[in-house]
Amino acid sequence: MADESILKKARGRALRYLGYRPRTGKELADYLRKGGYEEQVIAAIMKEMMEYGYIDDRRFADDYIRSSKLRGIGLRRAVNELKRKGIARSITEECLKLYDAQEEEAQAKALVEKKIRNRRGGLDRKAAANLGAYLYRRGFRSDVIRHVLRECLEQETLDELS
């Protein structure tokens, strides 16, 4: 087993790193690897952090998806970020059950309506294309973007006729 002083140093480093914001297991392991710690030390620290509840990928994914909703981030982007952070696909899929498709659509529509309100001259095809690109960068799925923009264009047409 690793020297106790090395474990103590690695533990302190891990706790400082976790003190800034919640992390995934992969993020912590990568951080300790960059610090030059051996795999057995990393494994011991990871086990300890999980036992104390400092590392919990399921909770991290739940919180991340919840905060993504609040920040106007789409489902596609949230999934990609969780994957990049090392969250297992099974955990991600389990957490996505919290994310309602109609909720994502309403969120996209609210963003589009906000952009339209701030814009002069209404919504034409070019503006709709720009809004579609904006929503795509925010991480919304293509089918949601098409549906929301089609709805907004139809509403704009009805407003012009009345």
Does 109 or 47 have the greater pLDDT score? 47
Give the integer Cα–Cα distance in Å for 87 and 143. 25
User: Given 67, 96, 125, which residue is the final one in a domain?
Assistant: 96
My answer on whether 85 and 121 are in the same domain is no
Residues 121 and 90 occupy one common structural domain: no
User: Is the Cβ–Cβ distance between 134 and 74 less than 8 Å?
Assistant: no
The count of other CB atoms within 10 Å of the CB of residue 160 is: 9
Q: Indicate whether 77 and 110 sit together in one domain.
A: no
Contact between 85 and 24 under an 8 Å Cβ cutoff? The reply is yes
Higher pLDDT, 156 or 104: 104
pLDDT tens digits for range 55-113: 999 999 999 998 988 898 988 899 999 999 999 999 998 888 877 778 888 889 888 88
CATH number, domain with residue 28: 1.10.10.10
Half-sphere exposure of 118 (CA within 13 A, CB side): 7
Which pLDDT value is given to residue 161? 54
Does one domain contain both 40 and 11? yes
Rounded Cα distance between 28 and 42, Å, is 9
Number of domains in the chain: 3
d(CA 97, CA 99): 5
pLDDT in tens, 12-46: 999 999 999 999 999 999 999 999 999 999 999 99
- pLDDT, tens only, 113-139: 888 877 776 677 788 888 899 999 999
With 0-12 / 13-18 / 19 or more C-beta atoms within 10 angstroms meaning exposed / middle / buried, residue 37 is buried
- pTM of structure: 0.79
Comparing 46 with 153, the larger pLDDT belongs to: 46
State how far the Cα of 4 lies from the Cα of 1, in Å rounded to an integer: 9
* Residue 26, domain extent: 4-55
158 phi/psi in degrees, rounded to 5: -65, -40
**Whether residue 109 is found in the same domain as residue 150:** yes
